[in-house]
Each structure stands twice: as C-alpha cells, then as structure tokens.
A and B are shown apart, each in its own frame.
Chain A
Amino acid sequence: MQPAADTFTLPDAPLNAWYAAAYDVELGRRLLARRILDHNVVMYRRADGEPVALENACWHRLLPLSEGALEGDNVACGYHGLVFNPEGRCVFMPSQETINPAARVRSYPVVELHRFIWVWPGDPALADPALVPDLHWNSDPAWAGDGKLIHVDCNYKLVIDNLMDLTHETFVHSSSIGQRSITEVPFEVTHGPNSATVTRWMIDVEPPPVWRAQLELKTGVPAGRVDRWQIIHFEPPSTVSIEVGVAPHGSGAPEGDRSAGVNGRVLNTMTPETERSCHYFWAFVRDYALGDQRTTTLFRESVASIFAEDEHVLAAQQRAIDDHPDKQFYNLNIDGGAMWARRLIDRMVARELPDERYVRSAEQSLAAEGERINVEATAADAERLGIKL
C-alpha cells in the first residue's frame, strides 16, 4: 500500500541483528560484493582466514572496493589505489606522504559460525556474538548435510511466511514431500518471549516418497506406515529451523523417542537484500548415515529443486503485491506461526526506533502485548538509521 501523506509504517527489518551474509565456502582470498539490508558490503578473508566485511564504496570517489584488489589483509581501490585495512582505515593514499585521518570506510562486525558469515548492519557496540541465531546443527559432528544460497525476488518476510506454514507443501510440492494429511491434521502454535513454534504431527500415515526412501536407507527394510513430524522454530529476525522426519508408526516418536526413525533439520536464515529481494541461506542436515556423501549430495539437490518451486511462488507473490498496492493480506488460522514471527520482528524493529509515532504503530501491530516499548533516541538517530520522519 502506498502510504499517503502523514501515514507511517515500520521499517522492514531490525538493523541490530546478525544476518547471514555468505556461506563459509563462498568467502576466500578474493572480494565478494553483496547487498545486505540495502548496505552494499564487500567481504573477504584475511590471510589467517578471519572474515572481513567493509562498506563497498571507496572513501574517495565511491568506486565499489569490490572492483579493486586484495593486498595482503587490506583492500586496494581499483581507481586511485587508496588502501583500506580490515578495520576500514585508510593506510595508503597516492601522491602524498601523509594520510588524511578522516579517511575510512565503514567496517561491519562479522562472525563466522554454523558455516555462515554473519554481518551486523546496526550499532557495532551492540554486536554480541552470543546473539548469532542458533543453527549449530550445520556444523555439529552429530549431523551431516549441506545447503545452498538462493536469491529470491521477494521480501524476506514472505519466505518466513512460507516456512512457518507447511500446509503449502501439499500444493506447491505435491510431487515430493507434499501430502494431503498435512492440511488435514491440526497443528499447534506456541510462542515464547523470543521464539515462535509450530508443531504438527501426522500419525499413522503413508510416508511421502522422499521419507520412505530415507527410512528404508536407514533400516534396510521396506517402510510401512509412519508417524511424521514437522516442528518449526522461529528465531527473530529471520531464522527458521525445522525438525522434520518420520518414524515407524507405533515406535514412540510422538512420545519423544525418535530413535527408530529418520531425523532431519531444515535450517533456513534469510537476509533482506532490498525490500523486494533477499538472500536465502539454507541447509538440510540429518542425524543418520553421517558418512554417506551420496545422501548428502542427493538431499542437497532434491531440496534445491523443492525450493525452486517456492522461489517461483514467492517471486510471483511479490509481483502480485506490487501490482495491488491497495490490497492487504487477509490472515487465516494457518498463518498463526507467521503472524507470531512478524510480531517478534516488529517488536525488534520498534525497539530501535526513535520516533514515537513509529512506536505507536508498532504497538498497534503488536497491540496489547502488555509491555511498553521504551525508546530514547533523537532525529539524528533517525537520520543515521535512514528513516524518513
């Protein structure tokens, strides 16, 4: 919807959060440019392997530093040769013996964890590595798997909506993991102060093709009817970790013992690129057949083809949203998980806002959460955060 004069809305994503900016294997001794929440960032590894993330525009004439070259741990601009170190300070200027002390580019806090390079686009003073979203299964020796990065032409929240409600599997992924029982069994939506969970158990169902094959791989015997689970965990602002799997019906999985079954985790974290596009990092990991590289590759590729179906739907949805600026979403019962996710995101956003009108709007969208949001900031903060008042 086009805001009319005097209307206001919340920014799209909080700045004070860790966002996945690259897969570990993407980063090396070369310059990688990527837009993260509309910040153009250049990334590389130092000689010792530590990741670096800098503003991707030379202090001097704004040429993207990614057009330049690595010089040891520093990056040299490809236009006039200014050199910046990993902290973003200029350490060389052409044709002068001194260096202008103001010469610097922004250096972003960066952490490598769970096979991702995480960048903090907000206030560096708040960048606590303990706040990196929990995707530890991606680098836990008790789990095996791999994943990919996809670029999706849609707002990142549409991907979150997609992941928080798996009834869409029945319709979007009918050939692989979809089955009618997903839409037929009840689900439970729960929430915590900083989490939202959607739990769905399908008891005594035929396994869909993908899961039948996995169960047979593990047990070596033909699979019968199963209990199937999907437990979706959201961690704001944009991480969704999904427990998935099947176990032979009656083997005790709903009661807590999944040892007779096959356990997977779909790990997802989305990073806004612009308001209409995002970087979608995912991995599929499993806790069985750990040494089986063939399964790792097959799973990675089959999940990639499943996600390509989502990519198509999501991009079409974004185009339809753009085509219908007068329309709003209508929310259904199945959107409960997504609505909690959006409420938690809005709350994070509201906490960093300087203007009381935004706080009121945020509270309206959160309404009735019974907690006042304290914001102390100024117009200068608004400018820094890029918010138009």
Chain B
Amino acid sequence: MSGEYFARATVRRVVDVAPDVRLIELVPDAGVAPYPPGSHIDIAVSIGGIPDTRSYSLVGEPDGQAYRIAVKQVPDSRGGSRVVRALSPGQEALISAPKSHFELAHGRPEYLLVAGGIGITPLIGMAQALHRHGRSFRLLYSARTRAQLAFADELRELLGERLELFVDAEGTRIEVAARIAALDPDAELYLCGPQGMRDAVARAWLAAGRRADRLRFETFASGGRFAPQEFVVRAADLDGAEFVVARETTMLDALAEQGVELMWDCRRGECGLCAVSVLACEGELDHRDVFLSESQRAQCRTMLACVSRAVGGAVTIDSGFRSDPERPRSVAMQRS
C-alpha cells in the first residue's frame, strides 16, 4: 500500500541481443512470481549517489526461472540504463515485484501490436500469449536499422508471417492509417515505441473514428520532437536560482541533485504529479508526456519535469516551495 518493496535478485545471464540492446536475466532470491504479459519491474539504482528506480518491461511470458529485461543503450540516458547495463552475472540487484499497468484484454476479435525499437519488450509476451490462445493478431515491428530489430529471429520462428518488420534505413514504413482501416471494428491496438510513432498512431486511430479506450499504449520509450539539449531552469520561488539541465539528465533529476524537491511518481509522463508551473519560457517546450492535453501543451503554462524539456534557452518555473506556516506562540501551552 505505502512505500515500495524491493527484493534481492541475482543476475544469472547477460547477453547482447542487438548492437545496442542487452538482455539481462534476474533470479529473485524469493522466487519468480507469475505475471501477465505487459508487466514491468522496477530496479533500484543509485545515480550520482541519489537512490532512484528504473522500470523495465519483462520480456516474454513467465517461465518460472528468471525475470528477463532488455536494456537499450541510450546516449542521452539519465544514467539509469548505464547502471543497469553494467550488471554482470553473479551481481545482486534490488528489484520490485512485477507490476502490470499494460494489460492485454481478452476476447477481442482481432489485435494489432505495434512496436518501435526497444518498445518491442512488453509486446513479446503479448504476442506469445495471443499465439498460445490462437487469437487473430499481427505484430508490426520497426527500427532504424535491421540490426536493431532485437528478438526478430525468435519472433519470426514463433509468429511466421504474422510478424512484419520495418526498417527506416531500408525505406520500409508502417502504413498506419491503412493498417487501422483494415482492422475489425472491435479490434484493439497495443503500442509501444517512441513519441513520434505514438503520436502518429494515436492521431490515425482517432481520425479513423475508433474508440480511444481500444488503443493501449506503454510510454517507457520516450523521445521528443527535438533532440535533447542542455537548458536552464530558473526557479522563481527560490529567489530565481538557476539550474542547468544537462543533455543526458531530466529537469526532475537535475533539480533533485541541487536539493530542489518535486513530487513525482511514474517518471514516464503519465501521472502528472511532477507538473510544474511555467511562468516564462524562452524558446520552445518539448512536451514528451501523455498527461497534458493538446490545448494545455499549446498554452505552455505547465510542463512535466520527468520527461519534458525546454529547447533552446531557459524556462522559469514555480517549483512549489513555500515556507512552513508560522505557529502562533501566544497560544502555546494554554489549558483549554
């Protein structure tokens, strides 16, 4: 209920499954728990001495032996993926129990799974489950280069022609609108990929007049409209103190390192708890969340510190810090 439980686990195997993707198998001391496809675990990490957690989708359906995660090497990572990627066999890690926030619904007449890059991870277990239950589905999987299509061979073996691969470098692209148009009216689409893909699929889905709740997506793999770059945050409520957010970190972490606390929870732009008021902004805001509506994004009066960034220049925020209320001295110790 409150707080989060972490259990000790031991790294069993580490293998690179693509030039930039590393598969890590973790065996929890207390045993592997069953989990539905689409689940993830949190791993406790320490970033620059500050304890933190990172979430990773569990790859494949449970096998009762180990949890498998796939970690992408991200040049602009906040450091979390670097710490997790550095794990080697025999090392210990603290992990949460599996959590399921991206669950596969049963009983739909048809399913379309769409993966972009590392976004394939939660969809592998879904494809396995749909295959096992004999459901009608296809998996569309795209990446920049063919080598980056991690797990493609295993998926091909299981899915045959139900797997379709798309490679940017080879000029093959998912024709989103046509794919959606061809689906059963009650079909569901499961999506995990970078923001550009997410936006395009969501727009096409709604444009096709389909129900919003039939489009399910996972938001770990987040990239914005702009390449991340360094920017400055000015906290109006902290005497205008300035903080630099480096290219490879987030506003949330950069502020935390300087002792500026924000509230947060999901860290992937969903819950809205880390929303800060934007008082002024030079340049543009690169909103990378799924919490704000289109019109809220356009107003630029608030932004989510966990994922969103300023592009070119500085942003002035209200971090929400206020002094504690004063306590009246006059009434102290009076007997009522």
Which A residues contact B (CB, under 8 angstroms)? 1, 3-10, 12, 24, 49, 111-115, 129-130, 134, 136, 138-140, 155, 157, 188-195, 197, 233, 321, 326, 328-333, 335-336, 339-340, 342-343, 346, 360-361, 363-365, 367-371
Contacts and interface: CB of A to CB of B under 8 A. Distances in A.
B258 interface: yes
17 contacts: A4-B28, A4-B31, A5-B29, A7-B30, A9-B3, A10-B2, A10-B3, A113-B336, A115-B336, A134-B327, A140-B331, A155-B2, A192-B323, A192-B325, A368-B256, A370-B50, A370-B257
B6 A361 contact: yes
Contact of B324 (A24, A194, A368): A194
B217 interface: no
Contacts of A6: 7-8, 29-30
B44 A364 contact: yes
Contacts of A5: 7, 29-30
B132 interface: no
A328 B99 CA distance: 8
Interface string B320-333: 11111101100111
B160 interface: no
A340 to B, nearest CB: 6
Interface residues of B, number: 52
Interface string B16-51: 000000000000111100000000000010000011
Contacts of B177: none
B4 A339 contact: no
A112 B336 contact: yes
A139 B334 contact: yes
Contact of B333 (A115, A129, A194, A329): A129
A194 B327 CA distance: 12
Given A134-B325, A336-B263, A370-B261, A331 B336 contact: no
B1 A1 contact: yes
Interface of B: 1-8, 28-31, 44, 50-53, 97, 99, 101, 252-253, 256-261, 263-266, 271-273, 275, 277, 291, 320-325, 327-328, 331-336
Contacts of B271: 330-333
Contact of B320 (A130, A190, A332): A190
Contacts of B2: 9-10, 12, 155, 157, 342, 346
Contacts of A111: 333
A335 B322 CA distance: 19
Contact of B52 (A8, A367, A371): A367
Contacts of A370: 50, 256-261
Contacts of B6: 7-8, 361, 364
Given A155-B1, A333-B273, A367-B256, A189 B263 contact: yes
B335 A364 contact: no
Nearest to B258: A370
B46 to A, nearest CB: 9
A10 B261 CA distance: 21
Contacts of A129: 332-333
